[in-house]
A and B are shown apart, each in its own frame.
Chain A
Amino acid sequence: MSEAGAGPPPTPADLLWPALNFVLFVALLVRVLRKPIREYFRARGERLREGLEAGARARGEAEALRAQLARDIANLPALRERLRADLLATAQQQREALLERARLAAEHIKSDAGLVAEQELAAALHAVRLEVIDEAVRQATTLLRQTVRPDDQDRFVHEFVSRAGLSA
């Protein structure tokens, strides 16, 4: 008596088709995915290589910086002396320039003061002169008011007529 549900054992012919299907499936999978997978790994390798190179460069730069810092620290006293000397030289130049400028300004002020004094003196002299002239004219006017007589007036008229008549 045979067991219920149990068939005869599969023959190689029965396994042939599933095997063939599997092989075709694998071949198709390989054909379709081979290129993207290869590209993925190539890109990943590239990124890794670049990362390594960048790391190497950064390390080199850090080394160079460290070396530079070490040199700078070693040169610090000399640098300080040089800066101090530069500052002193600049301060000296500024001092000389300021002194020269002050000297020129003092000369100008002195010269201007001289000119102003001369002008004020001239103006004062002119004002005094005008005052003297005005006073002389005032006195002459008073004198003329007191001394001009009618016959003088007649003479002035005759002289005026003679003079003006020449231009006629």
Chain B
Amino acid sequence: MIGRLARRYALAVFDLAREENRLEALGEEIGRAVAAFEDPRVQQLLLSPVIDAGVRLRTTKDIIASLGLSPTVNNLVTLLAERDRLAILPGVARWYQGLLDAELGRVRVTISSAAPLGAAEKNELVELARRLTRRREVLASIEVDPELLGGVVLDTGGTVYDGSLKAQLARLRKEMAEGGA
């Protein structure tokens, strides 16, 4: 329900951003707003039931004003605050990012590696992600996870390609256990 609501808001802002030809800039602004409202002190203030709703709304508007947002994003955040729906702002940002990525033909992937990757290996993996997702641009974030023991895991945001030794050991364990069942 919240996901669908966030998607509706994201679609509306995305259409406006396309009309303004500021797709990436608005995405960055929404990200900034999310970061500001995710601050624990701000959260404590805005979610506190002992603080008057009018005061909370005024504080929210002050924060929005201080961020120097464009009118479109300003209106979005103000509208969410007035309707007491600021909690879905991170969801709106995620949906917006997804729409933006699809529009620009890019994909975000996560590469988990057992050890730091060299430039050549990283390029190979990004190229592999491009071929697997059939997108023009790949935004890769790389994490080092020694628990993988060896190899890499490529998460293309929905499909996980697991080439780690940890996964191979898990498969081997499962096969041996089932073989004796």
Contacts and interface: CB of A to CB of B under 8 A. Distances in A.
Given A156-B152, A160-B151, A161-B128, A126 B180 contact: yes
A148 B163 contact: no
B122 to A, nearest CB: 9
B119 to A, nearest CB: 12
Interface string B142-181: 0000000111101000000101011001001100110011
Contacts of B22: none
Contacts of B163: 156-157, 159-160, 163-164
Nearest to A159: B163
B150 A148 contact: yes
A148 B115 CA distance: 10
B28 interface: no
B125 interface: yes
A129 B152 contact: no
Contacts of A161: 124-125, 128
Contact of A129 (B114, B115, B151, B177): B177
Contact of B152 (A136, A144, A145, A157): A157
Given A152-B150, A157-B152, A168 B131 contact: yes
B31 to A, nearest CB: 31
B113 interface: yes
B177 A133 contact: yes
Q: How large is the interface on B (under 10, 10 to 19, 20 to 34, 35 or more residues)?
A: 20 to 34
Interface in A126-165: 126, 129-130, 133-134, 136-137, 140-141, 144-145, 148, 150, 152-154, 156-161, 163-165
Contacts of B152: 156-157, 160
B150 A164 contact: no
Contacts of B121: 154, 157-158
B153 to A, nearest CB: 9
A34 to B, nearest CB: 110
Nearest to A129: B180
A130 B178 CA distance: 10
B114 A148 contact: yes
Contacts of B113: 153, 157
Contacts of B117: 157
A167 B131 CA distance: 10
10 contacts: A129-B180, A137-B173, A144-B165, A153-B113, A157-B124, A157-B163, A160-B151, A161-B124, A164-B161, A168-B128
